[in-house]
Structure formats: structure tokens, C-alpha cells
């Protein structure tokens, strides 16, 4: 029975991982589609589309899937019309949360997210209620093997970046939203495709959490990220390493 139970657990975890991967691909395809419709369906002339495709490639999305999404977006009257909406609210412990969504039905998305907040110890607020606690920044990440710290710093500054942080895990280059695409393209020419390149909300103040609050906040974020309309979730919490290790065990 123990072996059978273990096999079931393994299959359950694999199924959960496959479902999570499928959801991630669906969200990337949605971003590719919206990006291609917003501008030209050509990465050379559409910086947002280029970023979306780079993210999809980094996640090992098949090339055929990416090309189909672009072609579908380029077709006359193709598909649904998606709109970008930012939702804001508070989670357990007063943690500020920003949710970025791409939806074709506001009347579906807003109630779903409001319910997710309410059922998980939070509350959705008005637009602008927590955004002041974050800065909007362009972030480009490279593995440590891409370049030395000095080489990355020199190239990033030359490209117009605002800051660079390098450690054993890799390099993180910070740029303004306005300069993001130029910095990303300059670094890509020098060091190849980055591991990640996106515009993020970065908290300018954080809320330390105990184990109970940390577990509750992480549960809320998981529920929000599982929503098909949600593209990204940002929050301003801080969890001590020893607490994170307990929660991950």
C-alpha cells in the first residue's frame, strides 16, 4: 500500500506540475497575442512582442506554438480582444499586492480576484491604493556564467542602465521603463539572450512576516497566480530564510 500511495503522490505532483506548466504557457501565448496585435507582428519592430517571445523561449515553449500565436494575432479579426488591467489590494499582515491581468471579460476577472483576496485573508482595494509602495522598473537577468561582474557592469552602464547587482547566482540589471528595451537589446547583442527580461513592480518598502502570516500570504499569491487572467503578481513582503525553509519542507 505504501508503494501504491507513493506512486499516487508522485503522479499527483507530476499532474500538478504539468497543469502549472500548461497555465504558464497559456498566459505567455496570451501575452504574445496581445503584443502582436498592439504593434506589428514582427519582433524586429515590436519591442513588447520581442520580450514576450523571449520569455516563451526561456520557458522552452515550442517554436511552432509561438509562431501560431503570432500568426493568429495577425489574422483579420482574430480571437478575443484582451485588455490590460491592474488590480491592487492587501493580503494577510497588511502586505500590499499588485495583480496584472489580461482579460477579455472584466465582469469575470474582477469578482474572481475579489473573491480570491477575501477568502485568503485579504481585501481588494481601489486603483492606486498600494501602487505608491512600489517602483516600476525594467529588470534584465543573466546567469553568472554570462559575464564577469565588471564586464556586466561596464556594458550595462554604457547601455544606460540605472543599477547592476551581481553575485554567485547571476546578474540583475535595473533600467528605467523608458530605457528598458534599449538596455535589453544592447546587452543581448553583447552577452546573448537574457534568462529573463521584463518590466516589474519592485517594492520600495517591505513588511516582515512571521511563519503564520507568511504561509497565508504565499497561499493567497498561489491562488491569484492560478487565475487564467492573471499575468503577474507582486507583493511587498519579507520572509526570513529560516521561516522560508520551514514552509518549503
pLDDT at 1 over 60: no
State the CATH number of the domain containing residue 52.
Answer: 1.10.10.200
Check residue 18 and give its pLDDT: 59
pLDDT at 2 over 60: no
* Confidence category of residue 13, pLDDT binned at 50, 70, 90: very low
Check residue 72 and give its pLDDT: 81
The number of C-alpha atoms within 13 Å of 24 and in the hemisphere containing its C-beta is 14
**Mean of all residue pLDDT scores within the chain:** 88
Residues 190 and 209 in one domain: no
* Confidence category of residue 17, pLDDT binned at 50, 70, 90: low
How many independent structural domains does the chain possess? 3
pLDDT at 154 over 60: yes
Check residue 121 and give its pLDDT: 96
Residues 11 and 69 in one domain: yes
pLDDT at 36 over 60: yes
The x, y and z cell numbers of residue 182, run together, are 534599449
| Nearest by Cα to 172 from 192, 146, 211, 206 | 146
Checking DSSP bridges between strand 96-103 and strand 123-124, what pairing results, if any? Answer: unpaired
pTM, full prediction: 0.81
Residues 116 and 225 in one domain: yes
pLDDT at 21 over 60: yes
Residue 199 lies in a domain: no
Check residue 6 and give its pLDDT: 39
Which of 49, 74, 99 corresponds to the end of one domain? 74
State the CATH number of the domain containing residue 102.
Answer: 3.30.70.980
| Weakest mean pLDDT among 54-58, 138-142, 154-158, 178-182 | 54-58
- Give the tens place of pLDDT for each residue, 119-149: 999 999 999 999 999 999 999 999 999 999 9
Residue 228 lies in a domain: yes
Check residue 19 and give its pLDDT: 66
Residue 68 lies in a domain: yes
Residues 65 and 47 in one domain: yes
- Give the tens place of pLDDT for each residue, 72-97: 887 755 456 788 999 999 999 999 99
Residue 138 lies in a domain: no
User: DSSP code of 160?
Assistant: T
Residues 6+ apart with CB under 8 A from 53: 32, 43, 66, 70
Residues 113 and 234 in one domain: yes
Check residue 42 and give its pLDDT: 86
Residues 94 and 54 in one domain: no
Residue 137 lies in a domain: no
User: DSSP code of 146?
Assistant: G
pLDDT at 176 over 70: yes
DSSP H helical segments within 128-240, as ranges? Answer: 149-159, 180-191, 211-226
Other CB atoms within 10 Å distance of the CB of residue 13:
10
Residues 20 and 121 in one domain: no
Residues 124 and 164 in one domain: no
Boundaries of domain holding 13: 2-74
- Alpha carbon distance 21, 147 (integer Å): 30
Residues 43 and 100 in one domain: no
Residues 34 and 56 in one domain: yes
pLDDT at 16 over 60: no
Residue 139 lies in a domain: no
Check residue 3 and give its pLDDT: 36
Check residue 71 and give its pLDDT: 86
Residues 63 and 13 in one domain: yes
Residues 153 and 126 in one domain: no
- The phi and psi torsions of 128 (rounded to 5 degrees) equal 90, 0
Amino acid at each position: 500500500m505504501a508503494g501504491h500511495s507513493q506512486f499516487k503522490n508522485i503522479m499527483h505532483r507530476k499532474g500538478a506540475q504539468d497543469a502549472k506548466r500548461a497555465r504558464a504557457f497559456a498566459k505567455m501565448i496570451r501575452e504574445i497575442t496581445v503584443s502582436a496585435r498592439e504593434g506589428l507582428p514582427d519582433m524586429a519592430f515590436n519591442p513588447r512582442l520581442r520580450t514576450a517571445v523571449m520569455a516563451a523561449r526561456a520557458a522552452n515553449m515550442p517554436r511552432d506554438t509561438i509562431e501560431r500565436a503570432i500568426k493568429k494575432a495577425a489574422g483579420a479579426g482574430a480571437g478575443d480582444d484582451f485588455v490590460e488591467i491592474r488590480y491592487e489590494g492587501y493580503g494577510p499582515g497588511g502586505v500590499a499586492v499588485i495583480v496584472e491581468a489580461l482579460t477579455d471579460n472584466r465582469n469575470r476577472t474582477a469578482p474572481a480576484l475579489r473573491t480570491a483576496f477575501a477568502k485568503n485573508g485579504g481585501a481588494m482595494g481601489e486603483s492606486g491604493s498600494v501602487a505608491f509602495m512600489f517602483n516600476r522598473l525594467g529588470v534584465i537577468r543573466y546567469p553568472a556564467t554570462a559575464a564577469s561582474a565588471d564586464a556586466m557592469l561596464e556594458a550595462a552602464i554604457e547601455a544606460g542602465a540605472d543599477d547592476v547587482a551581481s553575485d554567485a547566482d547571476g546578474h540583475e540589471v535595473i533600467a528605467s521603463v523608458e530605457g528598458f528595451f534599449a538596455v535589453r537589446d544592447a546587452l543581448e547583442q553583447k552577452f546573448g539572450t537574457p534568462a529573463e527580461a521584463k518590466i516589474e513592480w519592485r517594492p520600495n518598502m517591505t513588511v516582515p512576516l512571521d511563519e503564520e502570516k507568511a504561509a497565508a500570504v504565499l497561499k493567497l499569491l498561489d491562488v491569484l497566480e492560478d487565475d487564467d487572467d492573471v499575468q503577474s503578481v507582486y507583493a511587498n513582503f519579507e520572509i526570513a530564510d529560516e521561516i522560508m525553509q520551514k514552509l518549503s519542507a
